[in-house]
Amino acid sequence: MHRAKSKLQFIPQQFNPKVLKLAHVLLPFVLRFRVRRWLIGGITRIEAENVETLVKLFQQFQAGKIRFLMAFRHPEVEDPLCMLYLMSRIVPKVARQLGISLKLPIHSHFIYDRGMTIWAGNWLGWFFSRNGGFPIHRGKPLDRTALKTGRDIFANGQFPLTVAPEGATNGHHEAVSPLEPGVAQFGFWCAEDLIKANRSEEVLIVPVCIRYYYIQPPWQKIDQLLGQLESDSGLPVQQLDPSQLSHPEEFLYERLFQLALYLLDELEAFYRRFYRQIIPEIPEDKALNSNQVLALRLQNLLDAALKVAEDYFGLAKQGTIIDRCRRLEEAGWNAIYPEDIADITAISPLQRGLADWVAEEAELRLKHMRLVESFVAVTGSYVKEKPTAERFAETTLIIFDLMARIKGVKMPRRPCLGKRRVKITIGEPISVSERWESYSQSRKMAKQAITHLTTDLQKALEELVKR
């Protein structure tokens, strides 16, 4: 991203059943093997719970009785592949077992982040488009084209709609990030559009949870990865003793904690010295344990990193960390993909050179935001409160991502710690239609209805995570 580009164009969905069929054929191979750099590890088995509910929903959808949206948890980049497997393999199988005849293909339209085509390439936009997807600019206050498209597809699309309400992956399979209100708004818009068209379908939102488990706890791989991170940090490299392999949690946790403290020390010093950020010290307090102190220091560090980028782009500190990240991303994209330059090749060499300067500086400032984005869901106590291999792996891989960014590795390839299985749990549908009366009373009541629906969906996903 060291040069300016032409402005980003919207990629309309152009569903093509032949491309979807190709995706279905390739899916098992993609899941089992790592294909290129953006897939993390092999998945050997996908299981699903309460699929009967989803089968009946598709039956009602095809009969014109309901419209529904699937709101799925988004901890990993493989989640969309797992959703595709659910609809292409598991739902048809369960439907046959129940004696329910469904029209094929079983599929859904979906929303993806416009940034995915930036790091993966234009081919991904073509592929997603032909599979019924359309992009959204996460940081835009109002991406009118995407919102209008999503609204129309929810009410009139050939398939249901699938959305990740967290907005991005958080790397944590047992921690749900705060949900964005867009899913609830789509639901009420759909209800409104159906009423205006004198249609009687009920509008539903279906929570879906995706969790990953290692087939065998990869303690030795985690030990090796920690050793690599210790080496990159300049710390003494430690190793698991054979006698510790039966219960490695305590030894590995101490190493992970010390690594985290060292990284905090280094990054705090970096931002204080080179960006003149005032990062407050945490006063001694016997009521705070070491994990709570680490969490407070981390939040102060993330705030300082965001301030560096916000100061450059002239943005005020507003909202949550996720809100701030989204605004910064959009500001950076506006500098790299200027809205007023439809064709970058049509401007003069002088203008192109100046635009490249702006783009290069913007990309550098966005690195601070990317650092923060990786740690949005990190609490400081996630591993301590439940020291499973999965939580150790998640946190260690997040630190690996941080180290790769700092080292300047482009498209870092995460180490594969082991084969995994996936469990998909279908939650009970939440009726939007039943809440329409409250939503439609006034603008104030509409905002409250959106908030309540978002909160209920958050609780539903959090409950599914615990199963």
SS3 460: helix
Contact in structure between 212 and 417 (CB atoms under 8 Å): no
9 lies in some domain? no
Q: What is the pTM of this model?
A: 0.90
The H or E element that residue 68 is part of is: strand 66-72
pLDDT of 279: 96
- The answer to whether residues 228 and 331 belong to one domain is yes
Contacts of 299 (CB under 8 A, 6+ apart): none
Domain boundary among 385, 407, 429: 407
149 lies in some domain? yes
299 lies in some domain? yes
- The answer to whether residues 315 and 454 belong to one domain is no
* Host domain of residue 375: 219-407
- The answer to whether residues 319 and 449 belong to one domain is no
415 lies in some domain? no
CA distances from 322 to 302, 303, 403 (A): 11, 11, 21
Which of 134, 136, 176, 57 lies closest to 462 in space, CA to CA? 176
5 lies in some domain? no
- The answer to whether residues 121 and 255 belong to one domain is no
Helices (H) and strands (E) in the chain, counts: 17, 8
- The answer to whether residues 178 and 303 belong to one domain is no
10 lies in some domain? no
Structure tokens at 463: 């409950």
Q: How far is the C-alpha of 202 from the C-alpha of 199, rounded, in Å?
A: 9
pLDDT of 33: 63
Number of domains comprising the chain: 2
CA distances from 399 to 70, 79, 161, 392, 419 (A): 31, 21, 34, 11, 21
- The answer to whether residues 205 and 236 belong to one domain is no
363 lies in some domain? yes
Domain boundary among 362, 378, 407: 407
Structure tokens at 370: 């990317």
- The answer to whether residues 211 and 294 belong to one domain is no
Structure tokens at 253: 């946790």
Structure tokens at 100: 């329910």
276 lies in some domain? yes
What is the residue type of 279? I
Residues 37, 40, 46, 51, CA torsion sign: negative
**CATH number of the domain that residue 138 is part of:** 3.40.1130
Compute the half-sphere exposure of residue 51: CA atoms within 13 Å on the CB side of its CA. 22
- The answer to whether residues 238 and 371 belong to one domain is yes
Question: Can you give the pLDDT of all 467 residues of the chain as single tens digits?
Answer: 578 888 888 999 999 999 999 999 988 887 766 433 334 457 888 999 999 999 999 999 999 999 999 999 999 888 999 999 999 999 999 999 999 999 999 999 999 998 888 878 889 999 999 999 999 987 776 789 999 999 999 999 999 999 999 988 888 989 999 999 999 999 999 999 999 999 999 999 999 999 999 999 999 999 999 999 999 999 999 988 877 777 899 899 999 999 999 999 999 999 999 999 999 999 888 889 999 999 999 999 999 999 999 999 999 999 989 889 999 999 999 999 998 888 899 999 999 999 999 999 999 999 999 999 888 778 888 999 999 999 999 999 999 999 999 998 877 778 889 889 999 999 999 999 999 999 999 999 999 999 999 999 999 999 999 98
What is the full DSSP assignment across 255-316?
HHHHHHHHHHHHHHHHHHHHS----------TTS-HHHHHHHHHHHHHHHHHHHHHHHHT--
- The answer to whether residues 328 and 430 belong to one domain is no
- The answer to whether residues 92 and 120 belong to one domain is yes
What is the residue type of 338? P
State how beta strands 202-214 and 430-431 pair. Answer: antiparallel
The H or E element that residue 70 is part of is: strand 66-72
CB atoms within 10 A of CB 217: 18
State how beta strands 161-163 and 202-214 pair. Answer: unpaired
Q: How far is the C-alpha of 183 from the C-alpha of 208, rounded, in Å?
A: 13
- The answer to whether residues 210 and 225 belong to one domain is no
pLDDT of 39: 40
pLDDT of 34: 46
- The answer to whether residues 357 and 441 belong to one domain is no
Domain boundary among 407, 438, 453: 407
